[in-house]
């Protein structure tokens, strides 16, 4: 991260950097000691080891109320489920833990010396009360942590006045370079594609994939299968994520073509097969699934596979599996 910032700053005219802002992936978790040094690596949304904890949450009679307050479906992706799991499976680690945060809070602490979390990323933890715009007391109790262990909550446009002396020196920037806290990667994607008007929908496919639309007040779907995350005042993003986006094509490239081939090679070969891949269907659940299944145990498979199918057909089926929601169908 520091190398990237330094390279960008070095490529710009001196004095032209007005500030730094961050997007960050949702649902990350880090455990820190009393000096706020990491006790763990970053645990990401893709880690589903907290499956049992998520099922325990779903079995609670008040599970719908919990989702209604936090806006987050109950799934192993959430820091809420992960903290419950760690309390059960790694109690000795939790005894050492004094502070808990996500990756962006850790980065802002290193760069600006500020212990903060923006509302947007906090909203995605399963520990945040959307109505109160604060940590949710019951969720914290379930997770076994207190508000004092978590970063201070701030709005997404909060200005951090200056870098620490150490980070300014490392980055080659003036210490007076301010920081804007920013929001989560998912909600900021709607800004990036200008999908902010009522009814406008953003579809993004990266490692995973998501469909999102912006609403003005925090409304939670009755099914509990969609998320609601804060973006900015009077702007909330509602939608559904899938676990298996581009990472599935990466797997297919490596598995079907070998290490020497690229994803671009796989796409080129896939496009030589017709739409529908000669009747071959791929279920892309290689890492469990979130929306609409919310099943960490979902598994992938090829359906309708015959001896007549080729690697091109298989790659085409893989691409169609996670591109089916795109407004731009494959040629």
Categorize the per-residue pLDDT at 235 as very low, low, confident or very high, splitting at 50, 70 and 90.
very high
Strand 116-118 relative to strand 99-101, pairing: unpaired
Do 238 and 221 contact (CB within 8 A), yes or no? yes
Is pLDDT of 12 > 90? no
- CA neighbor of 22 nearest in space, from 127, 109, 132, 133: 109
Is pLDDT of 99 > 90? yes
Percent of all residues in the chain with a pLDDT value above 90, rounded to a whole number: 85
Greater model confidence, 199 or 253 = 253
User: What integer pLDDT is reported at residue 324 of this predicted model?
Assistant: 61
User: What integer pLDDT is reported at residue 161 of this predicted model?
Assistant: 94
| Residue where the block lists tokens 């920081």 | 179
Kindly report which listed range (9-23, 145-159, 242-256) carries the lowest average pLDDT score.
Answer: 9-23
Question: Can you read off the two tokens belonging to residue 306?
Answer: 């015959």
Categorize the per-residue pLDDT at 330 as very low, low, confident or very high, splitting at 50, 70 and 90.
very low
User: What integer pLDDT is reported at residue 3 of this predicted model?
Assistant: 85
User: What integer pLDDT is reported at residue 304 of this predicted model?
Assistant: 97
Categorize the per-residue pLDDT at 177 as very low, low, confident or very high, splitting at 50, 70 and 90.
very high
- The residues facing 302 across adjacent strands are 282
- Taking residues 100-123, report their average pLDDT: 97
Helices 311-323 and 263-270: angle between axes, nearest 10 degrees: 100
Cα distance between residue 8 and residue 2, in whole Å: 10
Of these ranges, 9-13, 130-134, 170-174, the one predicted with the greatest mean pLDDT is 130-134
- CA neighbor of 186 nearest in space, from 163, 161, 165, 212: 212
Do 227 and 241 contact (CB within 8 A), yes or no? yes
User: What integer pLDDT is reported at residue 135 of this predicted model?
Assistant: 98
* Size of the chain, expressed as the number of residues it contains: 331
Is pLDDT of 189 > 70? yes
What domains sit in the chain, N to C, each tagged with a CATH number?
A: 2-180 (3.30.420.40), 246-323 (3.30.420.40)
Q: What is this structure's pTM?
A: 0.89
Is pLDDT of 124 > 70? yes
User: What integer pLDDT is reported at residue 10 of this predicted model?
Assistant: 84
Q: Mean pLDDT across the chain, nearest whole number?
A: 93
Could you report the per-residue pLDDT of 260-318, keeping only the tens digit for each? 899 999 999 999 999 999 999 999 999 999 998 999 999 999 999 999 999 999 999 99
Percent of all residues in the chain with a pLDDT value above 70, rounded to a whole number: 98
Q: Distance from CA of residue 231 to its chain's centroid?
A: 14
Cα distance between residue 131 and residue 305, in whole Å: 50
């Amino acid at each position: 991260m520091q190398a990237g910032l330094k390279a960008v700053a070095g490529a710009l005219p001196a004095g032209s950097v007005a500030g730094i802002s961050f997007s960050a992936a949702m649902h990350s978790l880090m455990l820190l000691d009393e000096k706020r040094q990491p006790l763990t690596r970053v645990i990401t949304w893709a880690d589903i080891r907290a499956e049992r904890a998520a099922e325990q949450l779903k079995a609670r009679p008040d599970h719908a109320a919990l989702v209604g307050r936090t806006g987050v479906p109950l799934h192993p992706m959430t820091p809420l489920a992960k903290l419950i799991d760690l309390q059960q499976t790694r109690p000795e680690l939790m005894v050492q833990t004094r502070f808990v945060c996500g990756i962006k809070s850790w980065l802002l602490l290193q760069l600006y010396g500020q212990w903060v979390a923006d509302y947007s990323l906090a909203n995605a933890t399963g520990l945040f009360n959307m109505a109160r715009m604060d940590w949710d007391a019951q969720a914290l109790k379930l997770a076994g942590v207190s508000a004092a262990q978590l970063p201070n909550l701030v709005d997404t446009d909060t200005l951090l006045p200056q870098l620490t002396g150490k980070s300014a020196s490392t980055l080659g920037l003036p210490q007076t370079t301010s920081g804007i806290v920013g929001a989560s990667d998912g909600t900021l994607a709607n800004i990036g594609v200008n999908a902010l008007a009522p009814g406008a929908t953003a579809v993004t496919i990266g490692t995973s994939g998501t469909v999102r639309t912006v609403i003005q007040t925090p409304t939670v779907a009755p099914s509990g299968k969609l998320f609601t995350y804060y973006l900015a005042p009077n702007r909330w993003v509602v939608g559904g994520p899938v676990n298996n986006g581009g990472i599935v094509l990466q797997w297919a490239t490596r598995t079907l073509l070998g290490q020497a081939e690229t994803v671009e090679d796989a796409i080129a070969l896939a496009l030589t097969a017709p739409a529908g891949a000669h009747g071959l269907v791929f279920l892309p659940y290689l890492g469990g699934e979130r929306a609409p299944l919310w099943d960490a145990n979902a598994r992938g498979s090829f359906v309708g596979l015959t001896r007549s199918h080729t690697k091109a057909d298989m790659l085409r089926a893989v691409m169609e599996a996670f591109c089916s929601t795109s407004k731009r169908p494959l040629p």
